[in-house]
Amino acid sequence: MLGIVINPRAGNGRGERIWAQVRAELDRRGVPYEAACTEAAGEGACLAAALAARPGIGTLLVIGGDGTIHEAAAGLWHLRAAAVRHAGGAQRADAVRDADVEGDGSRDTAGGAGEAAALRHAGEAATAGATAATGCALAAIPAGTGNDFAKAFGLPADPLLALELALTVGKPRPLDVLLAGGGGLAVNSFGAGFDGLVAKLTNEAGYKKLLNRFKLGSLAYLITVLRVFAGYQPCDAELVIDGERHELRDMWLVAAANIPFYGGSMQICPGASPHDGQVDVVVICSRTRLRLLPILAAVYKGRHVGHPAVRFFRGRHAALTTAKPLYVHADGEQYGATPLRLEVVPAALTVIGAP
């Protein structure tokens, strides 16, 4: 059975139009499904977790943009993590029960047995959820502005072709997750500094909705980049990758990427892979704006690699501290502010991509 999370407002209503197409095709083919629409920001995580925990749902299909995919992935991950914790509690309860059976009987067996039974029940229920969440693959039909996740996994823009990938011809692949110290996560990227501010302002901008109407939503990010570029002030920072410290002077941007794409079309980390168990970190530092101008054009083709203002790092753990608090985004959604600590969880989820 297919579980479906729809953001009808994605792409200025494109999500709703795509869902109408997909629903008609599923009904025509007799494919069983359960669907739920998001009505508010953050709701996608709860809906995804609820659907993934239901028996028989093997694929969770997301109709939306990077923000909706971000929420759905968070729901799958947190369901899995909670299930593992409960399963651990059940194992501890079994150990207590076994100790009672093998011991001298001096414990309060009624209370001990009741506690153990309760823990086992919770553990069994959560373990069932874990099996569902772990075995439930994430699929997507792009309906947003940037659709970076879709680009990374070769998902077609045509909704029915993307549906075919999810149902039959797509290839399941392991998906690493970037986990922040505060419990947040990203499947595309975290960003701090210039891009954190750009993400915040882009999501608040009225022109984003206007451009979406003309299928030019990816230009919204570029417009905000140009707006912010004129007045942004860099600051000093320290980046630690797997225990190795790096001083960053006049830091504009730090992006921790799980995939190459960023902001709609930018190839911010051309070598990033969501399957290698590592995070690729790009840092841009400069005292002058003039030095950065060539990067604005080059980054769309990934040709900023080798520019003297750009440095790349790779590792399992990353920590960023800054001289002043800087905005942070997770998959283009506002996350908070620095400091930021990250680790990679290898093969945390399964995603269905192009074969």
Spell 129-150 as b/e; 16+ CB within 10 A means b: bbebbbebbbbbbbbbbbbbbb
The stretch 12-26 carries a mean pLDDT of: 97
Burial (Cβ within 10 Å: 0-12, 13-18, ≥19) of residue 346? middle
Q: What pLDDT is attached to residue 122? A: 33
Whole-number pLDDT of residue 157 = 95
- The mean pLDDT value of the chain amounts to 86
Instruction: Tell me: pLDDT of 325 over 50.
Output: yes
Give the residue-averaged pLDDT of 264-268.
85
Identify the pLDDT of residue 353. 97
Report pLDDT digits (tens) over 22-57: 999 999 999 999 999 999 989 999 999 999 999 999
pLDDT in tens, 230-258: 899 999 999 999 999 999 999 999 999 99
Confidence of residue 88 (pLDDT cuts 50, 70, 90): low
Burial bucket for residue 22 (CB in 10 Å: 0-12, 13-18, 19+):
buried
* Average pLDDT for 274-297: 93
Checking if the pLDDT of 102 tops 70, the result is no
Q: Give the pLDDT band of residue 113 (cuts 50, 70, 90).
A: very low
Indicate whether 192 pLDDT > 80.
yes
Query: Domains in the chain, start-ordered, CATH in brackets?
Result: 1-169 (3.40.50.10330), 185-345 (2.60.200.40)
- Determine contact, residues 166/294, Cβ cutoff 8 Å: no
Burial class (CB in 10 A: 0-12, 13-18, 19+), 60: buried
Of 31-45, 108-122, 156-170, minimum mean pLDDT range: 108-122
In this structure, what is the dihedral angle of CA atoms 14, 20, 23, 29, given to the nearest 10 degrees? -110
Tokens for 302? Answer: 């990934």
User: Over 262-302, what HEC string results?
Assistant: ECCCEECCCCCCCCCCCEEEEEEECCCCHHHHHHHHHHHHC
Compare 86 and 173 and report the one with higher pLDDT.
173
Quote the pLDDT of residue 97.
43
In the predicted structure, residue 99 carries a pLDDT above the cut 90: no
Which amino acid belongs to residue 337? A
143 has a pLDDT exceeding 80: yes
Q: What's the rounded mean pLDDT across residues 273-283? A: 98
The residues near 251 (Cβ < 8 Å, ≥ 6 apart) are 193, 234, 235, 236, 237, 283, 284, 285, 322
Q: In this model, does residue 64 exceed pLDDT 90?
A: yes
Alpha-carbon distance of 56 to 2, in angstroms, equals 8
